[in-house]
Every structure is written in structure tokens, then in C-alpha cells.
């Protein structure tokens, strides 16, 4: 994915992980209000992981859920492991337990990846579902929430796997050799169809990769997170101080420390 211009990135740094999680939850709610106010619907993509789990728990709290009407929201998933929803490793299972089961959202508006199927069949089924829901729309998601692995992966786009180069399909199954596991993941054509993308990263272990990703001059398949370049052109990186400890000044990078 060559490019001649470096995309401008907004980086928000929060003093603590708790403040980061609270800000992320508030950002999701704000995006939902805006989207439903303008278009009547809100298409949100969620990712698994420890940091977003706390965000989902905040969104599922009674004081928050009573403020909102989730009837116009549609929930999608960035990736899933090849396991049934009741498996402890299931992204959907975790998100359903801490968030979705606590809000009044029509179950038909929750579009899960069926990890209990054969991986290729699960990917094909999710591809069909996306194409059915969105038809010919070029921008399909309002907000995509992503994380960053220590190896630079996001969703289940891992370095060294062919799925990073996928340009035709929105969903693919991928075998991750170092994990000896199959994943079903949204690909770049799907992730890059978002109006807004939000990377949520916390912890010292991510600091080196955060710096590498934010300093990349162009998309790098060895750091798949750098290949996420949505058509909406709005990318926010939300970090805690630990994840941001190695950030250096780079052209095109706007850094805002939150007080």
C-alpha cells in the first residue's frame, strides 16, 4: 500500500489507564449520539483485549445505559478466534458478558463472527452479512475501535501473514503460526471504510511498538497497524502515559496531553 503523503495523526495521552478508559467510553458515546442524530444509525466495530474490556464495562453500567437508546446501533467485531461464543477466548463472549447483555439493543443488531464454524466458512458468512447490511456503501462503519499488539498487529492482521495484503475481501480466515491458532478478521478494505478509527493502547510493553507505528512514514506490512488508513481520514490514538513513554516528535503527529 504505497503512499506519497504521510497521514496526519492525533495522539491523546492520558495520565492513567483509568482516565484513558473513561475517555474512550465517552468518545464512543459521543460518536453514537452524533451518528444517530445525523443518520439514525450507528455502526460500531469492537475489538477484544484487556484494555477495551474495561471500556465495555463502563458502557454497560446502569448509569450510562439508561441515558442512551441503542435501537439504532449495530455492533460488529474486528476479529474473532475460531472458538464457540461460550469459550473464554471468544471476543464476542467477553464483550457480550460485560457489555451487550447489559444494554437494550436488538439482538439482530449484534453481528457476531461465528467462530464455532470452520474458519473459512465463518469468514465467508461474515463477508455475506456485511455486504447484505451495507450493500454498496463505500463508508460502512461509523467508528472502529482497535488495539495494537507488541508485534504491530491490529485486529488479526499479523505481520508475515498474507491477509495483511488482502484487497478484495472484507473478511478472511487466517492461521497465525506463532499462536498455532486460526482467526477470522476484518481486512483492510473493511477497516479502511470507517468514518473514524480509534486505537486504544495502554502499558509499557506497547511503548516501543507505539513509537514505531507512529513514526512510520508510510504503511508497513510488517507493522499492520500502520496500514489502517480509513477513507474518513480521522485516526485517533488514545494512549496512557506508559504506552506513550517513547513517543518522539514527528511531522504530521499532533500530540495532546490530557489534564
Q: Alpha-carbon distance 252 to 243, whole Å?
A: 19
Does 2 map to a domain? no
Q: How many CB atoms lie within 10 A of CB 211?
A: 17
| Per-residue pLDDT tens over the stretch 154-193 | 999 999 999 999 999 999 999 998 888 999 999 999 999 9
Evaluate the CA torsion angle 53, 16, 145, 36 in order and state its sign. positive
The answer to whether residue 205 scores a pLDDT higher than 60 is yes
Does 3 map to a domain? no
Number of separate domains in the chain: 1
CB 223 within 8 A of CB 209: yes
Does 1 map to a domain? no
Cell of residue 188, nine digits: 483492510
Does 188 map to a domain? yes
Nearest to 146 by CA among 101, 191, 99: 191
Does 143 map to a domain? yes
User: Strand runs (DSSP E) across the chain, as ranges?
Assistant: 9-14, 42-46, 73-77, 79-81, 141-146, 171-176, 181-186, 194-201, 235-240, 253-257
CATH number, domain containing residue 98 = 3.40.50.1360
- Helix ranges restricted to H, 186-233: 188-191, 207-215
Q: Alpha-carbon distance 117 to 144, whole Å?
A: 24
pLDDT of residue 253: 84
pTM for the full predicted model: 0.94
Give the domain extent around 226.
9-257
| Per-residue pLDDT tens over the stretch 3-28 | 445 567 899 999 999 999 999 999 99
User: What is the average pLDDT value for the chain, to the nearest integer?
Assistant: 92
Does 16 map to a domain? yes
The answer to whether residue 110 scores a pLDDT higher than 90 is yes
Does 65 map to a domain? yes
| Per-residue pLDDT tens over the stretch 76-104 | 999 999 999 999 999 999 999 999 999 99
Amino acid at each position: 500500500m504505497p503512499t506519497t503523503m504521510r497521514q496526519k495523526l492525533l495522539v491523546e495521552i492520558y495520565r492513567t489507564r483509568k482516565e484513558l478508559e473513561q475517555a474512550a467510553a465517552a468518545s464512543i458515546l459521543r460518536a453514537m449520539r452524533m451518528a444517530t442524530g445525523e443518520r439514525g444509525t450507528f455502526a460500531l466495530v469492537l475489538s477484544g483485549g484487556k484494555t477495551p474490556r474495561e471500556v465495555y464495562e463502563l458502557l454497560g453500567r446502569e448509569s450510562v445505559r439508561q441515558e442512551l437508546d441503542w435501537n439504532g446501533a449495530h455492533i460488529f467485531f474486528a476479529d474473532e478466534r475460531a472458538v464457540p461464543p461460550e469459550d473464554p477466548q471468544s471476543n464476542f463472549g467477553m464483550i457480550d458478558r460485560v457489555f451487550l447483555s447489559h444494554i437494550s439493543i436488538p439482538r439482530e443488531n449484534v453481528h457476531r463472527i461465528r467462530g464455532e464454524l470452520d474458519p473459512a466458512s465463518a469468514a465467508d458468512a461474515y463477508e455475506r452479512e456485511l455486504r447484505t447490511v451495507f450493500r454498496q456503501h463505500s463508508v460502512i462503519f461509523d467508528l472502529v475501535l482497535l488495539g495494537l499488539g507488541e508485534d504491530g498487529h491490529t485486529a488479526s492482521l499479523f505481520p508475515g501473514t498474507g491477509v495483511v495484503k488482502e484487497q478484495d475481501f472484507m473478511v478472511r480466515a487466517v492461521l497465525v503460526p506463532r499462536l498455532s491458532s486460526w482467526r477470522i478478521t476484518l481486512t483492510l478494505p473493511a477497516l479502511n471504510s470507517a468514518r473514524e478509527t480509534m486505537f486504544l493502547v495502554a502499558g509499557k510493553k506497547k511503548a516501543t511498538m507505539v513509537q514505531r507505528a507512529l513514526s512510520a512514514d508510510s504503511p508497513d506490512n510488517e507493522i499492520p497497524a500502520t496500514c489502517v488508513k480509513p477513507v474518513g481520514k480521522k485516526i485517533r490514538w488514545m494512549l496512557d502515559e506508559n504506552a506513550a513513554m517513547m513517543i518522539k516528535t514527528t511531522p504530521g503527529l499532533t500530540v495532546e496531553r490530557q489534564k
